[in-house]
A and B are shown apart, each in its own frame.
Chain A
Amino acid sequence: MTDQILIHGLQYGIYVLEGALCLLLAKQGAWRSRLGFCVYVTLLFVLDGVARPAVLDHFGRTSMQFAYFYWLTDVALAMGAFLLTCGFFRRACAREEKLWRFVRLLLIFVFVLVVAISALSLTRHYTQLYTVFIVEFSQNLYFSCLVLNTLLFVMIQQFAIEDDELGLLVCGMGLQFAGEAAGLALLHLTSGGDFARELFSFLNPICTLGMLITWIYAVTKTPQSVPVDSLAGKQTALAEAVLE
């Protein structure tokens, strides 16, 4: 009972934050410079915050329709996350056209590889499309996004790209991908055991919450260098002298 209340609390927290992030982005404008990010946030809000609860309300939690819809939207969100990672790579390589050409090829290769590995799994379990293939495809796609995201993080550090907002957005994505991939892998390892299922039901919303909070922080409070106010500086120095 307490678990269910906690899960529902987390879920409603996510809906509120998704809506708040959408509103924040709309209020700030700058859709053009953050196009991919804005599209993904809107997709997340529409699919996770509106469509899933509507289907759940209509068909019920134990229905097959909800299970199919949940996993299909999960694949759509995983695809969206992959495209968002590509968008972040584009933003990081904005001044490095040569590097971007190489990165673009790498991203296409990774996507083809994930589809191929997942398709291999489908040939073995073609009767269990929704239970095995989709879980494995999502797990592989989230894990490859996680690896790409880590590469992007290292690239930002290595090339000293001074885009603090991008750095924080990448960290938020990393939190979500890592939690999701770990949860799905555990689910796969235990063949959907009760413990893994229960852990996943907590882990997934916690990671999503972590990502959304980090993103809201990135959008609203990105660290920026502020010139030192000489007058305020003098006042503080004098205040210190008085304190001493």
Chain B
Amino acid sequence: MFMAALILILSTGLFFFYLQAVCQKILRRQFSQEFFQSIVNANRLEFPSVRKAIEDFGSPVEYPRLTLTLKCDFLALTYLLKNAANVNQRYSYEERLLIVYFKLMFASLVTRHWLKLRETPAALKLTAILEYFANVVGERVNTVRFGNLTASDYLLNL
């Protein structure tokens, strides 16, 4: 009985650990270039400044602003993921998984704030997810062709 209870507790914990590991592995994907920067500039997203604040000062900006910024960026990027240069107009499996992961990490950020624990690791993970989304959108936009032009060529010819 004791053995079964121990197995149940450990297995449940490890299940969530592996789920997180899969998400982290997906986030490690290397893109051929930093596509996210153009998407950030074009849509005035704020997550890079949040990350810079954390890296420079060791702590995020004030909590209400942090949550609002991350939530707004998340909404903008998930909309773009679904609608910008996406022929099928639906998320892929890994995007769905990362959306769930973002929501769980966001819940973790809120919980950490309530419990007065360090919010920095959760905030950094959230910005990493947003950067991945922005890279995916940027990569798609970069490969879309307007006639014989890529999106970049098109912009250059404006």
Contacts and interface: CB of A to CB of B under 8 A. Distances in A.
Given A213-B93, A229-B33, A236-B152, A223 B25 contact: yes
A232 B15 contact: no
A28 B27 CA distance: 25
A168 B94 CA distance: 13
A146 B11 contact: yes
DSSP majority for the A interface? helix
Interface string A132-143: 000000010001
Given A143-B7, A185-B4, A243 B21 contact: no
Contacts of A153: 21
Interface stretch (A61-69, A93-101, A173-181): A173-181
Contact of B156 (A174, A177, A223, A235): A235
A242 B158 contact: yes
Contacts of B94: 217, 221
Interface residues of B, number: 38
B32 interface: yes
A212 to B, nearest CB: 11
Interface string B12-40: 10110111011001101111110101100
A226 B30 CA distance: 7
Contacts of B37: 236, 240
B38 to A, nearest CB: 5
B29 A223 contact: yes
Interface in A154-195: 164, 167-168, 171-172, 174-175, 177-179, 181-182, 184-186, 188-189
DSSP majority for the B interface? helix
B13 to A, nearest CB: 8
A224 B155 CA distance: 29
Residue among A172, A184, A240 with the highest chain B CB neighbour number at 10 A: A240
Given A171-B18, A240-B37, A243-B155, A139 B29 contact: no
Contact of B12 (A178, A188, A239): A178
A113 interface: no
A150 to B, nearest CB: 6
Contacts, number: 117
A105 interface: no
Contacts of A188: 4
B5 interface: yes
Given A164-B25, A189-B1, A242 B155 contact: yes
B89 interface: no
A207 B22 CA distance: 13
Given A179-B15, A236-B152, A243-B42, 17 more contacts: A143-B10, A146-B10, A146-B11, A150-B17, A174-B17, A174-B18, A178-B11, A178-B12, A178-B17, A181-B7, A182-B8, A189-B1, A207-B15, A223-B25, A226-B30, A232-B152, A243-B155
Interface of B: 1, 4-5, 7-8, 10-12, 14-15, 17-19, 21-22, 25-26, 28-33, 35, 37-38, 41-42, 93-94, 142, 150-153, 155-156, 158
15 contacts: A139-B7, A146-B11, A174-B14, A181-B7, A185-B5, A185-B7, A223-B26, A223-B28, A226-B32, A228-B33, A232-B33, A236-B33, A239-B38, A239-B156, A243-B42
